[in-house]
Every structure is written in C-alpha cells, then in structure tokens.
Amino acid sequence: MNFRYRLMQFMSGRYGTDDLTYGLLILGAVLSFINIIIRLRLLQLLVYAVVIYAIFRVLSRNLEARRRENRFFNEKMNFLKNKMELYRCRKNDKYHVYRKCPACKAVLRLPNRIGEHTTVCPRCNKEFKVKVRK
C-alpha cells in the first residue's frame, strides 16, 4: 500500500480543513511572526494553542460541531467583509455624505454641500442640523 492510500484511510470520517482552519493557521503564523520581534513566552504558548486547535479540528470526528464552528466563523467574516466594502464605497463617494439620524439612528445619504443644513429624516420625520465640511 502506498502512502496516499494510507492517508486516505486515516482521514476517512474525519473533518479535514475548512476556512476556520486556514484562518487559525494564518493567525498562528502572524502571532509567531510578532513573537519573533517581541519574544514573549505567553505569546509563544498562544501560538502553540492556536496551531494545536487547528490540528485538532482537522483530525476531529465530530463533524457537526466543526461545521457549526465554521458556519459561525464564516458569518462573522462575511459581516466584516460587508462592513469593509460599505466603508470603502462610502469613502470613495465624493458626491454624498453619510450621517446618522439622532432619533432613529438611520443612516442618511445627503448631498455633499459645504455648510450647515437642516435635514428631515424620511424614516421618523425628525428634523436635525447637519454640518458638512470639505
């Protein structure tokens, strides 16, 4: 029997790799790089813990628990990606400013006119002042 066949037999019924595993390994590499500069024993222990947990996830036979963990990780990462994309789009929008309504906290897209303006929130009909600078 060759090595590949034995490895396939060993991994049969085990979880394997997913996005969270790759994220943990990247986190371990980043922490290890930081530890090269700082040299803290506690940080090195944290690196070991992260890498051991990643290996534990790969070899685990509790598939449903690992899928739940990965789903939770992907939801959080998608949330962060969406927030970053929204921030980037708003930052690149030169014709509008974005302000929150003080009453209902709705985000309003207003024209980028310099000065102080009075605005009415379309959601709660509350009137408030907006200062727009450069």
Report domain extents, the chain.
Answer: 1-92, 94-134
pLDDT tens digits, 85-95: 999 999 999 99
For the chain, list residues with pLDDT below 50: none
3-state secondary structure of 96: strand
Residue 74 confidence (pLDDT):
98
Residue 35 confidence (pLDDT):
96
If 0-12 CB within 10 Å is exposed, 13-18 middle and 19+ buried, where does residue 57 land?
A: buried
Q: How many CA atoms lie within 13 A of 85 on its CB side?
A: 6
* Maximum pairwise Cα distance, the chain: 78
pLDDT tens digits, 66-82: 999 999 999 999 999 99
Question: Is the pTM of the predicted complex or chain greater than 0.85?
Answer: no
Residue 133 confidence (pLDDT):
85
3-state secondary structure of 54: helix
